[in-house]
Copies of this chain bind each other. A is one copy, B any other.
């Protein structure tokens, strides 16, 4: 076992001590912050998420704040989706692209008010990107990373837990809707959000000195529902088709390749970064597409540490970008980023580290077959 070593280059989350107390056994980094990745019993964590309620330290989901007269303009320049329809207190999932139309992050864009937007980011340095663009275009906007640290409460019982903490009004929040809240003096924004398809909320802690306090309040309130610690869950997210930017995408991936085309608005203004390239890609169609892969056999295989080459009739046709044991399907499943020549039902082979395995191309999300 390889341990993770302390360094000031990678930040600890405000919940770090609480996750250690809760028995965290593995971590990874995300946005140069430590993120718990396991508590020692993957199946129990999966069951808790899919049938009960789970709490996750996802402080590494950093917020990049755009504030100033040109905040909205910058948000639109960065996002390939029409942001003019954003309203205060409502988030939208957007694909940020570079000038070639390649996805550089897939955040939730949250409109705080007319002069302030947050990008709730995946694992790449959107602050650096936004700073470069804003300064090069001479926009009146200040870019910062505010003291905001999300704690996710996910699962079918999450709403009951968060309602018991903050009141029944949270039940009225729309998906990606958010509002200010105060939990025994701990300042929060509460959002109906989270990186699972089990439903739930993210509590955006607004004071990094109070992480353990918030963690303990949630753990206590959730006790009647048997809440327990967890983290973004590989099985659950692959079963349900959630994309991992940087895990399922590479340096050439555009939105149309990974099922995000419906979040691109081609009629946004021409100054939106990447939109010209995306119009061209949309007109001609992408060369790859993301499909499911189900591996033959029912022996659980380890999670991927790299992409594997996928072959059809012996010829390389793309990659299997992630794979995991599905508790729901009782099969090893994963995502393929495959040539558009491949389609559902194709028989394939995958060059894994230890073996060449056989499988079949499927739709996403996966269906029990």
Q: Which positions in A face B, CB cutoff 8 Å?
A: 1-12, 20, 24-30, 32, 37-38, 98-99, 104, 123-125, 128-129, 131-133, 135-137, 144-145, 244, 246-248, 251, 273, 302-307, 321-322
Q: Are A25 and B2 in contact (CB under 8 A)?
A: yes
Q: Are A10 and B27 in contact (CB under 8 A)?
A: no
By beta carbon, the residue of chain B nearest A30 is B9
Q: Are B37 and A5 in contact (CB under 8 A)?
A: yes
Q: Are A247 and B6 in contact (CB under 8 A)?
A: no
Q: Which of A3, A5, A304, A321 has the most CB of B within 10 A?
A: A5
Q: Are B29 and A2 in contact (CB under 8 A)?
A: no
Q: Are B8 and A247 in contact (CB under 8 A)?
A: yes
Q: Are A247 and B132 in contact (CB under 8 A)?
A: no
Complex Cα distance, B10 from A303, in Å, reads 13
Q: Which of B9, B20, B124 contacts A125 (CB 8 A)?
A: B124
Q: Are B6 and A27 in contact (CB under 8 A)?
A: no
15 CB contacts below 8 A, A to B, read: A1-B3, A2-B3, A2-B4, A2-B20, A3-B4, A3-B26, A6-B303, A6-B304, A8-B304, A9-B28, A9-B30, A10-B28, A28-B29, A32-B246, A129-B129
B residues near A273, Cβ cutoff 8 Å: 135
B residues near A137, Cβ cutoff 8 Å: 136
